[in-house]
Structure 1
C-alpha cells in the first residue's frame, strides 16, 4: 500500500499565516483600554487610548465658589492603578475650593463626573457637621494666627491637614500645605500618614472633632524630632537615582519609625522606578506611595530596624523567606490622587486670586 505524500504549504498559505499573526499582534494596541479625556472648564466625551502601564481612568473636578460666580474645572484621562479616592474643601482667600478625584477600572468608566456643586450648596445644612480650620499655601495663611473656620458639608468629613514639600535646594518653593474638611483614604485620627527621604517630606493628618486641626508647626523650618531610626534613601531607577552609589542614609523623624522600599512602574514614563525612605506604619499599609511617587503596579515593603530597607536589587524587590516585613502587596482598587488635587488647587487658586 502506497503512502500518500504529506501536503506542502503553499506560499499563499504562509502569507496568510503571517498576515493573520501580524493582525493579532496589533489588535491589542488598536483596541486598547480607553478613557474619557479632557482638561478645561467643560466636561467632555473625547476619548484616549491608554498606555500599557495605565490601567485605570481618572476624573478630577475642582469647583471654586467666589460669590456670585461658580467655576468648575475638569481633568479626565488614563492613569496608573493604586491611588485612593479623596476629596478636600478649603478656603483660599475669599473663595471656597472643593476638589474631588475618582478612579475606576473598566473601559470608559469615567464618563460621569462628581457633582461637587450639590455638596457645596448643602454646606451648613447639617447641624452636626464639624467646624475645621482652613488655610492654604496659595494665600499664605497657614503659618499665622488668622486661621479661618469653615463648616464641613457632610457628616462623614473630618478635619484634615496635608503637608508636602521637596527638600531639594533646586526647588526651594516646592511646598504645599492645606487645612480644611475632607475624606482622605486610610487617614485616621490615631496616627498621621507620613513619608520622608532625601528628596521629600509628606505628612497627612486627620482628626474627628471640631477645630482639632489647629497645629501651626512649619515642618520645613522646624522638623519633627528624630526617632533614632536611620534608613536608606533614594528615588529613581537602578542606574539613575537608586544606583548603589546614589543611595544615601536619612535619619527618620516623628511617626516615620519604619524603613520603606518600593518598586513599580512610573506613571509618566512607564519605566521601572524605585523609592526608599522612612515611613509611618500607617503609610506602609496605605496606597500613598503610589499617590506621591506616581508608581503603579507597586510592590512595597516596610521593615523595623535601621538600614533594613536593603532588598531591592537591580530595581526589583527580592523576596526573603527570613524577612519579618509585611508581605508584598499590589494595590488594585478604585482610587484618587491627593498630589494632583493639591497641584490643581494651588495652580487655580493662585491664578484666580
Structure 2
C-alpha cells in the first residue's frame, strides 16, 4: 500500500517554471540526486513526503525540481486509514535544492476539528483532525473510468487555490471547506486504496 493522496499534489507542485538550474529527481532514501533541469521562472524546491498507515511510516519520498514560490507548501492530509505530510523548501539560486528537506513535524494531537471520512463505501464516519489540519477535504480521481472518492482532514496550505487548479488539469479533484463536518456524509466513496494508487501513477508517469 502506498498511502499518499498527496503524491498527486507533488506533480502539480513541482512543475517547470523557473529561470534557474535546479536539481530534478525523485530520489529514494539512499539515492543521490544528480539530474538537473533549466527553468524559466520561480525557484528550486526540495520536498520531503512521508506517508503513514495506521500510525506507522509506510513510505518516504525525496523530490527535487522547479516550483513556483507560492506552491512551496508544508502541511498534511489525513484520510483516517492513511495520513501524508509534505515539507517543502524553496530557494532562488542555481542548484540550491541539493539538500533533503527535514520532514514535517508529525503532530497528530486532536485540534477540535471534525470531518467525515470514508471506510469502504461508507463516508459517514467522523474523523478527528490533528495538528494544523484546519480544513475538511474531499478528493476524487478517475480510475479505469470509475470515479473514486475519499474524505478527511487537510492543512489549509494543501487547499491553496493555485494548487487545486493545477490538480484539476491532472484529473484530480480537491475540494476543501472550513466548518466541522462540512465535507458531506453522503456515501459516494469507493476504495481509498484505488484512489491512492491512481495518484502514485500520476506522479510517476505524468
TM superposition score normalised by structure 1:
0.38
The yes-or-no answer on 1:217 pairing with 2:102 is yes
The yes-or-no answer on 1:197 pairing with 2:74 is no
Q: What is the CA–CA distance in structure 2 between the aligned matches of 1:224 and 1:130, rounded to whole Å? A: 34
Corresponding residue for residue 153 of structure 1: 38
Q: Is the 8 A contact 1:261 1:312 kept in 2?
A: no
Q: Is the 8 A contact 1:163 1:178 kept in 2?
A: yes
In structure 2, the CA distance between the partners of 1:213 and 1:193, relative to structure 1 (3 Å rule), is farther
Q: What is the CA–CA distance in structure 2 between the aligned matches of 1:213 and 1:344, rounded to whole Å? A: 23
The yes-or-no answer on 1:242 pairing with 2:122 is yes
The yes-or-no answer on 1:182 pairing with 2:89 is no
Q: What is the CA–CA distance in structure 2 between the aligned matches of 1:214 and 1:163, rounded to whole Å? A: 10
TM superposition score normalised by structure 2:
0.58
Q: CA deviation at 1:208?
A: 3.5
The yes-or-no answer on 1:140 pairing with 2:18 is no
Q: Look at both structures and tell me which one has the larger radius of gyration over its CA atoms.
A: 1
- Secondary structure of the equivalent of 2:39? coil
Q: What is the CA–CA distance in structure 1 between the aligned matches of 2:122 and 2:21, rounded to whole Å? A: 44
In structure 2, the CA distance between the partners of 1:151 and 1:176, relative to structure 1 (3 Å rule), is same
Q: What is the CA–CA distance in structure 2 between the aligned matches of 1:156 and 1:338, rounded to whole Å? A: 26
> Higher strand proportion, which one?
2
In structure 2, the CA distance between the partners of 1:253 and 1:180, relative to structure 1 (3 Å rule), is same
- Higher relative contact order, structure no. (Cα contacts within 8 Å, ≥ 6 residues apart): 2
The count of corresponding residues between Structure 1 and Structure 2 is: 184
Q: CA deviation at 1:201?
A: 0.7
2:20 to 115, 121, 129: 129
Q: CA deviation at 1:250?
A: 3.2
What RMSD in Å do the two structures reach over aligned CA positions?
Answer: 4.7
Q: CA deviation at 1:152?
A: 4.5
Corresponding residue for residue 134 of structure 2: 257
Q: Is the 8 A contact 1:160 1:207 kept in 2?
A: yes
In structure 2, the CA distance between the partners of 1:148 and 1:249, relative to structure 1 (3 Å rule), is same
User: Any residues of structure 2 matched to 1:323-342 within 5 Å, and which?
Assistant: 339-340=200-201, 342=203
Q: What is the CA–CA distance in structure 2 between the aligned matches of 1:308 and 1:241, rounded to whole Å? A: 17
| Residue segments in structure 2 that go unaligned for 5+ positions in a row | 1-7, 190-197
Q: What is the CA–CA distance in structure 1 between the aligned matches of 2:76 and 2:144, rounded to whole Å? A: 25
Q: Is the 8 A contact 1:227 1:252 kept in 2?
A: yes
